[in-house]
A and B are shown apart, each in its own frame.
Chain A
Amino acid sequence: MATVTTKVSAADRPPWLDAAIVQSVALLVAAGVALLAGSLIAVGYGANPLDVYGAIIEYAFRDATSFGAVLATATPLIFSALALAVCFKGGLFNIGVEGQFLFAMVTATWAALSLDFMPGGLHLLAVLLAAMVGGMVFASVPAVLKVKTGAHEVVTTIMMNGIAVSMVAWALNGPLKLTSLPTGTNADLRSDIFEDSALVPRLGAGLGIEDSAQLSWLFPIAIVAAVAVWFLIKRMRLGYEARAVGASPGSAKAGGIEIGSVQIKLFLISGALAGLVGMQQLLVERGSLVQNYQALLGFTGIAVAFLARNNPIGIIFAAFVWAVLSRGDTAVQLQAGLPREFVIILQGILILSVVIVYEIAARRLTYRQLQREVDATDAEAPSDLAATGGTA
């Protein structure tokens, strides 16, 4: 029983401090495991791990444009992870962010092409709105099925992802098919090119960030969205109800919360956020819907949300770390001589160790909480405690 000594000292700390300490330690341990595993791979390639990590960090911070590019890469991940976190708080697992953002790219493309008579700012606003509505419509299917029929949202959203992939392919072959081919472009499968009025303006010209960084006003919008989600969860009635449902649906129901209505609202908000995931590539990088769009952003958002423990503000930093790693793949190849895929492996190990270490930490916290309750009520049967679990 090596845990006895820690348990005694831990019991003296207030629960929130205990939780903060355990979670910080968990994050450090997980990061340490990932860095260690990455070092082993680097050594296997005959490279100095410090050089590899140094190259990744140096590549992100060497000048304003590089830093801007990191923020641009983080932008869709913030939206994606926020979409996940909103549902997670209510005990819902929206694996369908991927499908929702794909479908939203279709609706946004439609708006960009067919509403081009609108004046500048209004056109862009309509496109972003179309994206959010598209994401909400696509998210409403699993939401309503969950509430009305009990169909598990994990499976239905997985199926909706499959439908979305075909939906984009269908739209590109049908309603959104290229009608005019501008000179100097090849005839890839894609939509017509958008008017400039539909594009999100660049950001950072005054800060020395060049246009090649692809940094746009979507980044500050993502930050605002994160703060809004934080406010929603911590300060608004829906957030309170969501946390109650997430913690214990039975108690929430007994407390007079209408679970179904909360779940549908959460799914719709999640879908609206998911709708903005594809805008970085659609309205900043490409200016049209292309067949070889950047996929998997919905799933990567899941990793970012895990990393941040679904904390909306934490998500900004987690997305930043993720983007630093993603952008560093070129540096890894050029400066350290490793295959650029080393970075993806590092991210994979990081997320694996994060979910495992967090799980262990959460169990330890639950155990201590139980311990505290037992101490407080001066309970008689500690053997019951062992049976209810979490001795790990």
Chain B
Amino acid sequence: MFGDLGAAIQIALTYFTILYLTGLGGLFSERSGIVNIGLEGLMVIGTVTGAFGAVYFTDDLGLGVPVGPMLGLLLGMLCGAAFASVHALATITFRVDQIVSGVVINLVAVGLARFLSSVFFGQATQSDPGGPHLALIDIPLLSALPAGFGRAFEDLSPVVIVAALAVLPASYALNRTRWGLRLRSAGENPEATRSLGVRVAPLRWQGVLISGALAGLAGAYLSVEVVNNWREGQTLGLGFIALAALILSNWNPVRLIGAAFLFGFAIAIPRRLADLPGIELLPPQIIRMTPYIVTIVVLAGFVGKVRPPAAAGRAYEGGGAL
């Protein structure tokens, strides 16, 4: 039974990686004052470009593993950021409603991914399976845990470790640097930020570009490292679950770890723990709803309170916006 639990945690860590990276991206964007519901679309771009990059750099350019897949992940990151610049341009420069722009991002991403796929792979909905990926690793010490728990820390992609450690630079940058203070102030009170001689638009651009890069990395991790090829619709709404985790974390990078793991574990339950007493009574599709239900309950204020950045969603109208 604990062996199953270990295996479930291992799958949960995979989803944690996607949710944490994407959620962290959303955090930087929203703390700077730009609501980003386009995370799902940014992830989609990461999946298709990352999968292409991994194959292209590894096989076509002959760079091999691990350089090829790493460059693939990097390409997914860059393309995610490039696509996010559309959101930044629309919301910051042209001050289009942020929800509207986010919806458009998600809508366009689906079509753009199909288009890119037909250019990259000659078919619109998937690439060849079994693409190149980084070597899986066992985490020292943790993978030697007794009672089957060690299973949780075996055969993991190095990206999982990157995601697990990302909280350190993220928290530091956000809470301990001048840049982080300014970024947060742009999301709380942009007029005050400007009155202190700090330009709001560049900060918000940076927040949105970071969200694109991290969501793109999460998408590339999904296609390159987890599935080993691109398939249309493989993100399965994880970008929206990441948004849910971000809300549950109250826009805090440390609490986001817990939220992302909790939701990741909820997704893993039907896949490894379906036989447990109690769980067997619940259809897997019902378990799959839990992240969304939890978020609605929290948002409604039935349990705890969340407070988004005060100026998130509001365009900065003052001088220096352009």
A181 in contact (CB, < 8 A): no
- Which of A212-220, A336-344, A370-378 is near enough to bind chain B? A336-344
Residues in chain B near residue A339, CB distance under 8 A: 115, 118-119, 124
Q: Which residues, 176 to 219 on B, are CB-close (under 8 Å) to A?
A: none
Residues in chain A near residue B283, CB distance under 8 A: 170, 173-174
A130-172 toward B: CB 8 Å interface, digit per residue (1/0)? Answer: 0000000000010001001111101110111111011101100
A154→B90 CA distance, assembly (Å): 19
Chain B, Cβ-Cβ closest to A93 = B99
A355→B118 CA distance, assembly (Å): 27
The 4 A-B residue pairs whose C-beta atoms are closest, nearest first, are A344-B111, A348-B108, A170-B285, A341-B115
Q: Which residues, 75 to 116 on A, are CB-close (under 8 Å) to B?
A: 93, 95
B286 and A155 within 8 A (CB): no
Residues in chain B near residue A360, CB distance under 8 A: 94
A296 and B299 within 8 A (CB): no
Sample of 19 further A-B pairs with CB below 8 A, known A166-B285, A345-B112, A352-B104: A93-B99, A149-B299, A151-B296, A152-B299, A158-B243, A162-B240, A162-B244, A165-B237, A166-B288, A173-B283, A299-B106, A306-B104, A339-B124, A341-B114, A348-B107, A352-B86, A355-B97, A389-B317, A392-B322
Q: Contacts A149-B300, A351-B104, A356-B90: A159 and B115 contacting too (C-beta < 8 A)? A: no
A347 in contact (CB, < 8 A): yes
The smallest beta-carbon distance between B78 and chain A, in angstroms, is: 20
Residues in chain B near residue A141, CB distance under 8 A: 296
Residues in chain A near residue B94, CB distance under 8 A: 356, 359-360, 392
The smallest beta-carbon distance between A249 and chain B, in angstroms, is: 15
A300 and B107 within 8 A (CB): yes
B111 and A151 within 8 A (CB): no
A266 in contact (CB, < 8 A): no
A360→B112 CA distance, assembly (Å): 25
Q: 16 pairs across A/B with beta carbons < 8 Å?
A: A145-B296, A149-B300, A151-B300, A162-B244, A162-B292, A167-B285, A170-B283, A303-B104, A306-B100, A339-B115, A339-B118, A342-B115, A348-B108, A348-B112, A352-B86, A355-B101
A302 in contact (CB, < 8 A): yes
Chain B, Cβ-Cβ closest to A156 = B296
The smallest beta-carbon distance between A347 and chain B, in angstroms, is: 7
A170→B241 CA distance, assembly (Å): 19
Q: Which residues, 10 to 45 on B, are CB-close (under 8 Å) to A?
A: 37
B95 in contact (CB, < 8 A): yes
A351→B86 CA distance, assembly (Å): 12
A299 and B111 within 8 A (CB): no
Cross-chain contact of B103 among A148, A299, A347 (Cβ < 8 A): A299
Chain B, Cβ-Cβ closest to A148 = B300
The smallest beta-carbon distance between B93 and chain A, in angstroms, is: 9
Cross-chain contact of A159 among B95, B96, B107, B295 (Cβ < 8 A): B295
Chain B, Cβ-Cβ closest to A303 = B107
Q: Contacts A149-B301, A300-B107, A341-B111: A163 and B289 contacting too (C-beta < 8 A)? A: yes
B293 and A156 within 8 A (CB): no
Q: Summarize B's interface: helix, strand, loop or mixed.
A: helix
Interface centre among B114, B295, B296, B299 (most CB of A within 10 A): B296
A positions within 8 Å CB-CB of B = 93, 95, 141, 145, 148-152, 154-156, 158-163, 165-167, 169-170, 173-174, 296, 299-300, 302-303, 306, 339-342, 344-345, 347-348, 351-352, 355-356, 359-360, 363, 389-390, 392
A296→B110 CA distance, assembly (Å): 10
B positions within 8 Å CB-CB of A = 37, 86, 90, 94-97, 99-101, 103-104, 106-108, 110-112, 114-115, 118-119, 124, 237, 240-241, 243-244, 247, 283, 285-286, 288-289, 291-293, 295-296, 299-302, 317-318, 322
A326→B3 CA distance, assembly (Å): 50
Chain A, Cβ-Cβ closest to B103 = A302
A245→B283 CA distance, assembly (Å): 42
A299 and B292 within 8 A (CB): no
Q: Contacts A159-B292, A344-B114, A344-B115: A355 and B300 contacting too (C-beta < 8 A)? A: no
B240 and A161 within 8 A (CB): yes
A150→B86 CA distance, assembly (Å): 30
Cross-chain contact of A356 among B96, B107, B244 (Cβ < 8 A): B96
Residues in chain B near residue A356, CB distance under 8 A: 90, 94, 96
A299→B243 CA distance, assembly (Å): 18
A300→B97 CA distance, assembly (Å): 17
A345→B104 CA distance, assembly (Å): 12
Q: Contacts A149-B300, A173-B285, A341-B114: A155 and B90 contacting too (C-beta < 8 A)? A: no
Q: Contacts A161-B240, A344-B115, A348-B111: A355 and B37 contacting too (C-beta < 8 A)? A: no
Chain A, Cβ-Cβ closest to B247 = A155
Residues in chain A near residue B107, CB distance under 8 A: 296, 299-300, 302-303, 348, 351
B299 and A155 within 8 A (CB): yes
A167→B106 CA distance, assembly (Å): 22
Residues in chain A near residue B115, CB distance under 8 A: 339, 341-342, 344-345
Cross-chain contact of A355 among B96, B296, B301 (Cβ < 8 A): B96
Chain B, Cβ-Cβ closest to A159 = B292
The smallest beta-carbon distance between B274 and chain A, in angstroms, is: 13
Residues in chain A near residue B301, CB distance under 8 A: 149-151
Residues in chain A near residue B97, CB distance under 8 A: 355, 359
